[in-house]
Structure formats: C-alpha cells, structure tokens
Structure 1
Amino acid sequence: MASSTVTSSQPSRPPRPNLAFRQLRGRRSPAEFAAAVRRAAREIGERVSCDARYIGRVEAGEIRCPNYAYERVFLHMFPGRTLTDLGFAPRSSVRGRGARAAADTTPAHDRIRPHTTGETGAGFEPYDPPYPQYPYDLSDPYGPHTDYEESDVLRRAFMTGGGATVAAASLAPIGLALDARAAQRPVRRVGASEASALEDAVRRIRLLDDRHGADGLYRRAAAPLRAAYALLDAGTTRQATADRLHSGAGELAISVGWLAHDSGRFDDARSHYAEALATARMTGDDALEAHAFCNTAFLARDAGRPREAVRAAQAAQRIARPLGSSRLMSLLALREAGGWAGLADRAGCEQALTRAQALFARGPADADPEWMSFYGEAELEGLEAQCWSALGDWQRAARHAGRAARLQDPHFTRNIALYTAELADDLARGGHPDEAAAAGMRVLDLLDQVQSSRVQTMLAGTARVLLPHRRAAGVSEFLDRHAGPARTA
C-alpha cells in the first residue's frame, strides 16, 4: 500500500504523559492492565485488541483521546469518571487534529464517526470502504492516526473489508502474502491456511534479518504483526488452529521485537517482548514463554540492566527445563552469563559459561525450537566473546570473536558482520590497532549488505578508540572510510 497522502499535523510540542491513567494502573504491569481492559470490553460486548504497547502509548501521552470503543470500555472500568478524569483531552480538542478548520472541509474518506445505531465492536464507521482505500498507511505505526486513534481502529477497519483472509493477506508488505486465490475468498473464520501464512511470516522475517539486519525491516514488519492479532480476533472453530495462531502471533511479536532491539529501539522491543510473554501465559505455551524471557534477558543486558538480565534468563531456564532441549538451555545459560558479566561478577559468568558449553556439547535434539536455527558453535563463541569483553578481558574476547567469525555459516551475513565488529573492537581495546583496522575494513565491506544499528554502533566505538593510533598501519584508511557516506542496503 502506498504511503498516506494526508498531511500529518502532529502537535509541535512533545506529548504530555498521562499521569492520571498511570495512577489508575497501579501496581499492575502494562500487559496485566491490558488484559483487564480486554476483559472489561467483553463484559459490555466490545472487542478491543489492547496490549502492553497501547497502554504505554496512553501513559506516554501519545494517545490524547481514545477511540469510541476504548472510551466505552474505560468508562465502564471506572464508573463515575469522565475522559478528562482519566487524563485524556476532550474529544473536541483533538478531533480536528489542529489541521482542519471545520468538519465540512475534511475529505469524506478521511472522516471517522461513532455509530448511532447498530454498534459494532470496532466502535466506528468509515464513510468509504475501509480497505484497501483507507487513507492511512497501515504499515506505518507512527502514521497520522497515532495522535488520537489507537491502531486497533485501523486493524478492525481492514477486518471488516473481507473477513479473516484480508488480515492474512496483509502479511504481504514483506513478501508474506497468502495464495492469491485464497485471498479472494471471504472467510468468516480463520483456518489452517491462515495459520500457515502467519508461521511463514515469522520464518521470512528471520531469514531477512539473518541476511540484511534489522534496520530496514522493522517498520515493514509492523503491518504483519497487526494482521496476526487481527487473525486472533477473527476466531477459529478448532482449538489446534487457535493454538497455532497464538503461538505464531507470539513468535512474530518476538521477531518484530528483535528487529526493534537490533535497530536500537529498546522501548519498542520491550513492549513487543512483553506482549509475547502475555500471549504465552494466557495460552500456557511454555516454549513461547521461554523464548520471550530469553529475548528479554538479552535486551536487559544491552539496555544496561544486567541484574534484570540474570533474573529473566533464570526464569527462562526454569520454564524451559522440561522442554527437553539442551541447546535451548545452553543459550539461556549464555544469556545468564551475559548478565553476570554486566554485573562484573566473573565467577558467576564463568559458571554460567561452563554450563552453556556442557549443554551445547550434548548436541541437537528434536525438541530444539525452530527459532534457534541461528544458534550454533559460531553463536556460542560470539556470545562468550561478548562476556569476556564486558569483563575487560580483551585478549580472550578477541580470540572467541575471531573463532565466531570464522565458523559462521555464510548465510548469516548479519552475524558475520557482528562477530567481526566485536573482534575489531576487542583488538582495538587490547592494543592491536593495525589488526583492529583490518577487521573493521571487513565489516565495512559487509555493510553494503547489512543494516544493523548494533553493528554500526560497535564500529563507531572502535573508530573512537583508534583515533589516537591514526599512524598505525591501515588505521588511517579505516577511519577515513568509516567517516565516509553512510551505506544503505
């Protein structure tokens, strides 16, 4: 779908946090509060797809006024209060969004009005067919609608245009469309073909990330994620299909969270991982919960919260132990080791690393999750390198990073760039500027194919360390090339 031609009129001032709404949440997590909102909606016959991310956006002030469905749910949850009591702006102050002089100047297809009769769960009625003619770009989560209308409105808009198959077909923005004939058939209930399309979406995103990195994929992956939750909302008559859909949606949330994580959007990543965790707990999916905790631990380490990383990794190990995958337990032990390294606890780190190596040596098993295809000897070496780097043992870190780069399957271009960037940084900090520059040049060669903020941030750090060594062999050439025009894949 082409980007919207509607001119955005985002307010010039930054959003003001909604402290009143935050106070109402109390001690519940955003995901727990979102679940309470969905329960309240069902009590009054509404259907909203509230998640932790939506709650976060409300509390951050990004949603100045909820759509009509959410308004009814919130007023039901907090009887006697008005929208302004809940910290929202009056609808009259945001409905025009500052760019419209009057309602009669707005194009008909750009208006949304509440139902007066025959209310539906969406809580709105578009004037024109809602999909695909809807003016906003559904693939852009930060498009014009984010000022006062939650993305649930758009999600339900395309659901009304042709049933569950429309939602499944919207997996197309990154080449994830269903069979064309299936996309033309209106379907009231979701079936195995839609579940398969969702699972294929997860595989395709992982494949593209392995080859090209996250930066160019993150925004494009938002639409398939919304489509996945729309499929859940559409319902299914078979429990086995429902389980596949929930698992697929959770795995997709983790994949999109990883894209956010690797491209430096830590808050977005945390929200996606929390949504996957909530989905896992609602459905009792231990494998999905272990995966969500695994990624949460990695994010916490990168975000400078090493103690949280340790706790999340330990929680993942408790959940994963009965699943029968030694390789999964090995990876989770490495996540724990990363947390201990961040805490400068060398003993704790070494114990976790020893456990990870022993578990890895047991070999693969049928119980190994599909998403762990990246985890081989190269990743084991790479994660160990990161631990020694965090502990300041540059020589040992460089040795493991070098092994990781040599062992990595050529398919994983992004990981080769990552391990080589780690090697360059460890060599630079360990007093080997010429070797560091050579490794850095190899990374620059790969950046024609890879977009990863993580890799570029590491390389920038290496360049800063090498600045005083410009006269060393190859360093000046590396610094000049690194400072040149940015590459795009």
Structure 2
Amino acid sequence: MASSTVPSSQPDRPPRPNPVFRQLRGPRSPAEFAAAVRRAAHEIGERVSCDARYVHRVEAGEIRCPNYAYERVFLHMFPGRTLTDLGFAPRSSVRGRRGRGDGGTPPPVGDPALVTGDTGGPPEPYETRNPYHTHHNYEESDVLRRAFMTGGSATVAAASLGPIALAPDASAAQRAVRRPGASDAGALEDAVRHIRLLDDRHGADGLYRRAAAPLRAAYALLDAGATRQRTVDRLYAGAGELAISVGWLAHDSGRFDDARSHYAEALATARVTGDPGLEAHAFCNTAFLARDAGRPREAVRAAQAAQRAARPLGSPHLMSLLALREAGGWAGLADRAGCEQALARAQAYFDRGPTPADPEWMTFYGEAELECLEAQCWSTLGDWPRAARHARRAAELQDPHFTRNIALYTAELADDLARGGLPDEAASAGMRVLDLLPEVQSCRVRTILAGTARVLLPHRRASGVSAFLDRHASLPRAV
C-alpha cells in the first residue's frame, strides 16, 4: 500500500497525539481495533490494510488526516461523526492536497489511485533497517508504542495473567492502579508459557479469542510503568512474546490479517527496546506467515532479516530454524537450488546441538520439526515421495506431548502420499489424523485434511479410501 507523497504543512513540527481516537479504541488492543477496522471495511466494500502499527500512528498523531478509504470506514464505524470529531485535522488544513471536484467530496469507493495513501506525512521508505516489506514497512518509530501506554490498570493485568492466564474478561478484576513489579513480569511470562502449552496440546482454534484478555492485560502492565529497569525489560519482552503467541494462534486458525498485525506489534516492541531475540522471533513468524499466505519472496526476506538479528545470539538451533524458514520461501519461488542450500545450512546448524543460548520458545524445535519443515519444502517443490519420507519420519519422532504437531505431521504425510499416487496409505494416515481431531482444534490440520480428501475422491474404490472419505465428510463444520 502506498503512502501519500504530500508532506504536512509543518514538517518539522512534532506530531500531536490524537486522544479522541485513543478513547474510541477503548479497552481493545491496537491489534483488536485494527481487526475491527478491517471488518468494518469489508462491510462497506472497502479494502484497507489496517494493522496495529497504523492504529499506533493515528493515535500518536503521525497521520493527521486519513485517506478517503479510511475516512469512509471510520465514518461507518462511528456514524454521525465527522473526521474532526474523531480527532483528525480538517482535510483542508493539510497542505498540498489537490482538489478533486468540489475539493471536499471523497472519490468513489474503490478508486485505486486514492485507496491507500495517508494525508499528513512523508512516504514510508521501502527499506531502511528492516529488509522485510509487505503493505506496510514494519520499521518502528519513537511513538510507535505510545498507544500501548494509555489507560488501563496494572492490577487488572495481574489478575488476568494469573494461573489460568486466559481470563475471559480482564476488566472484572479491576482494582487500584499500582506499579508492576517482578511478580507481574513473572505472571506475564507464565501466561506466554501457558498459551504455548495449550496450543501444543490442543491447537489454536479454541484459544485465539480467549487469549485477547491476557494480551490487553500485558498492555495495562506496560501502561502502569515499572520502576526497575530489569522489570521494564522483562515486561516488554513478555508483552512482545505474548503478541507473537497470540499472533500464532491467529495464524494457525487461518486469521492471517490478525496474525500479521500481532507479529508487527511484536517487531515494533523489539525494535523500540533493542531486543534482538524478540526481533528474530517476530521475523521468524512473519516469514512463516508470508509463506502460508502465498508471498514466498517476502518469506525469504523476513527469514534473512531474522538470521541477521539472531546471528549475535549464539544459538545454532535458532539459526537452523530460521534457515528452514528461508528454505520454505525459496521452495515457494520454485528455486530448488536456493531451497537446497538453505536446507543444508539448517541441517549443519542443527547438528551442532542445543546450547544454553537457545530461546525458551524453541522447545517445539527438535528433529521432528526439522523433518516436517523439510517435508513441506519438498511438497511445495512437487517431490511427493521425498516429502512423504520426511513427513513420516517427523510423525514417528514427535514427542507424544505435542498432540497438535503429531496431527499436523500425519496430515501432511497423508497429503504427500495421496498426491504421490499412494491412496491406500494416504487414507490410513488420514484415519490416524481423524482419531486425533477430538483433541486438536487446528484450522491448518483441517485444511490439509480437506485437500487430501479432494485428491482421494477419484480413488474411492481403493482399499480404505471410501471409509476415510465417509468419515471425513461426517466431520462437524468448524465454527
């Protein structure tokens, strides 16, 4: 998405925050509000790439007046209000805005020349420190997290980040505001671990909505402000990791726009606090998302950015995973040589073994995950027998604790076998996945299984295929 090339009338003047817009957001996180903006746009046939970063920029005053597409969406969300009622500057006050017709009438819906820009700021660079680019450049600014610290209660946060960590309503625990301490940082870190544990066992679909409360609670902890720098650092790192965890729940349940917004939020936090570990993690997940969303070149660039951030950390296993993310991007580009080179680096790094520098979030990454990710590369390249060999080994190696991953690896095995011309073996693997579905709620697994069923339809008479297809067809629809 392009930005307007028209500068503001006073380019040297610092931006003036928009407290009205912040008030309208209410208790929702920037990512949640961005999702609401996208839904509202869909309702009126508009298309905007709103994410948490855009919300931050509006609230910080970096966007003095939105483009016409966003104007239509905001006025739809808040009927009866004008742009100035929403805290924006009048369009007429923004210098250099060329007249269109009467100078005040928005262009028709869908005008491609006017859908994307924002009035009141210089264009964002395609690439500065950050080599990864989608509709927005994810480079942070000194005001990017300002909305992260407006309103809320530290004790609300502590309550919703308690032992369950998935409280349905953080506001129910509101008490007097106090400054968070080490125990609050610990509660935030425990929330991240708890979400990861539940995802490993059950998948993302049932968790994503419930994870919004601890994410809002994390924002409230940052808002309250700790006194000790060590606690501040832990809170920011915890909030960033929590944003990635919630982003992964959105990612794995097929909500790619929401996932992108959460990952961007984590990357902004990493850049603001100078945390290379968090930055590498955010780029790692961004690369994975780009691959799944059909943007392989972006996946390569994000994975390469992650490797640059991670190199000083001294974790061979992290570098191995990031090389696999890059390999997935090369596979999506049908670049077999690039994919093989990245796979060789991944194996070489993995063979160095675990070290104390390996991040805590990488507990899922072992030989089984390496085999699975390599299988996905060969599958993307159309080498079904090779993909099936690696997928089978992944399923055999996986720790039983990771129920969701066993279902995923076995589903990928079934799909590789089906596409490789082995329908009976594919149906048998598919049956094993169906046995696990009562425990696993993952849109990814269901999507792979549905694709396998379509491939097997012409082979209904093969041994076991009919039983698999009938059982798959009887699955309840996902909600």
With the shorter chain as reference, the TM-score category is 0.7 to 0.9
Q: Distance in 2 between matches of 1:323 and 1:230?
A: 30
Structure 2, unmatched stretches of 5+, are 8-13, 45-54, 82-86, 88-145, 168-172
Partner of 1:480: 470
Find the partner of 2:339 among 330, 346, 349.
Answer: 349
Find the partner of 2:406 among 416, 426, 447.
Answer: 416
Residue identity opposite 1:453 in structure 2? C
Partner of 1:364: 354
Q: 1:26 to 1:295 in 2, by over 3 A?
A: farther
> Superposed, which structure 2 residues align to 1:254-333 within 5 Å?
254-333=244-323
Note if contact 1:174-1:220 (Cα within 8 Å) is conserved in structure 2.
no
Partner of 1:247: 237
Q: What secondary structure is seen at the aligned counterpart in 2 of 1:368?
A: coil
Find the partner of 1:444 among 427, 434, 457.
Answer: 434
Q: What secondary structure is seen at the aligned counterpart in 2 of 1:289?
A: helix
Residue identity opposite 1:195 in structure 2? A
* Superposed displacement of residue 171, structure 1: 3.1
Q: Distance in 2 between matches of 1:427 and 1:380?
A: 19
* Superposed displacement of residue 58, structure 1: 4.8
Q: 1:384 to 1:26 in 2, by over 3 A?
A: farther
Residues 242-266 of structure 1: per-residue CA shift (max 9 Å, x gap): 1101100000000011001101111
Higher mean C-alpha displacement, 48-57 vs 396-405: 48-57
Structure 1, unmatched stretches of 5+, are 1-18, 28-37, 65-69, 99-113, 115-151, 178-182
* Superposed displacement of residue 55, structure 1: 5.7
* Superposed displacement of residue 169, structure 1: 1.0
Residue identity opposite 1:315 in structure 2? A
* Superposed displacement of residue 222, structure 1: 1.1
With the length of structure 1 as denominator, give the TM-score of the two structures. 0.71
Residue identity opposite 2:347 in structure 1? Q
Q: 1:253 to 1:345 in 2, by over 3 A?
A: same
Partner of 1:41: 17
Q: What secondary structure is seen at the aligned counterpart in 2 of 1:380?
A: helix
Q: What secondary structure is seen at the aligned counterpart in 1 of 2:353?
A: coil
Q: 1:197 to 1:97 in 2, by over 3 A?
A: farther
Note if contact 2:165-2:214 (Cα within 8 Å) is conserved in structure 1.
no
Residue identity opposite 2:337 in structure 1? A
With the length of structure 2 as denominator, give the TM-score of the two structures. 0.73
Please say if 1:383 is aligned against 2:378: no
Residues 229-282 of structure 1: per-residue CA shift (max 9 Å, x gap): 111111111111111011000000000110011011111111110110000000
Please say if 1:167 is aligned against 2:157: yes
Residue identity opposite 1:279 in structure 2? T
Note if contact 1:174-1:221 (Cα within 8 Å) is conserved in structure 2.
no
Q: Distance in 1 between matches of 2:72 and 2:370?
A: 51
* Superposed displacement of residue 164, structure 1: 1.0
Give the number of aligned pairs.
393
Partner of 2:125: none
Residues 262-317 of structure 1: per-residue CA shift (max 9 Å, x gap): 01111111111011000000000000000000001111111111111111111111
Partner of 2:397: 407
* Superposed displacement of residue 167, structure 1: 2.1
Note if contact 1:53-1:272 (Cα within 8 Å) is conserved in structure 2.
no
* Superposed displacement of residue 91, structure 1: 9.7
Q: What secondary structure is seen at the aligned counterpart in 2 of 1:41?
A: coil
Find the partner of 2:178 among 188, 194, 197.
Answer: 188
Residues 101-158 of structure 1: per-residue CA shift (max 9 Å, x gap): xxxxxxxxxxxxx9xxxxxxxxxxxxxxxxxxxxxxxxxxxxxxxxxxxxx999977x
Q: 1:219 to 1:350 in 2, by over 3 A?
A: same
Q: Distance in 2 between matches of 1:76 and 1:97?
A: 22
Residues 426-459 of structure 1: per-residue CA shift (max 9 Å, x gap): 1111111110000000000000100001000000
Please say if 1:340 is aligned against 2:330: yes
Partner of 1:106: none
* Superposed displacement of residue 186, structure 1: 3.6
Find the partner of 2:386 among 393, 396, 409.
Answer: 396
Residue identity opposite 1:429 in structure 2? R
Note if contact 2:323-2:342 (Cα within 8 Å) is conserved in structure 1.
yes
* Superposed displacement of residue 175, structure 1: 4.0
Note if contact 2:221-2:235 (Cα within 8 Å) is conserved in structure 1.
yes
Note if contact 1:448-1:488 (Cα within 8 Å) is conserved in structure 2.
no
Q: 1:354 to 1:92 in 2, by over 3 A?
A: closer
Residues 299-352 of structure 1: per-residue CA shift (max 9 Å, x gap): 111111111111111111111011000000000000011111111111111111
Note if contact 1:467-1:479 (Cα within 8 Å) is conserved in structure 2.
yes
Note if contact 1:274-1:292 (Cα within 8 Å) is conserved in structure 2.
yes
* Superposed displacement of residue 77, structure 1: 5.6
Q: 1:403 to 1:26 in 2, by over 3 A?
A: farther
Q: Distance in 2 between matches of 1:379 and 1:94?
A: 43
Residues 188-240 of structure 1: per-residue CA shift (max 9 Å, x gap): 21111111111001000000000000000011111111111111111111111
Note if contact 1:382-1:401 (Cα within 8 Å) is conserved in structure 2.
yes
Partner of 2:52: none
Give the alignment's Cα RMSD to 1 decimal: 3.9
> Superposed, which structure 2 residues align to 1:10-89 within 5 Å?
40-41=16-17, 51=30, 54=33, 58=37, 61=40, 88=71
Q: What secondary structure is seen at the aligned counterpart in 1 of 2:17?
A: helix
* Superposed displacement of residue 485, structure 1: 3.2
Please say if 1:457 is aligned against 2:433: no
Kindly indicate whether structure 1 or structure 2 has the higher relative contact order, using CA contacts under 8 Å at least 6 residues apart: 2
Q: What secondary structure is seen at the aligned counterpart in 2 of 1:404?
A: helix
Q: Distance in 1 between matches of 2:149 and 2:375?
A: 43
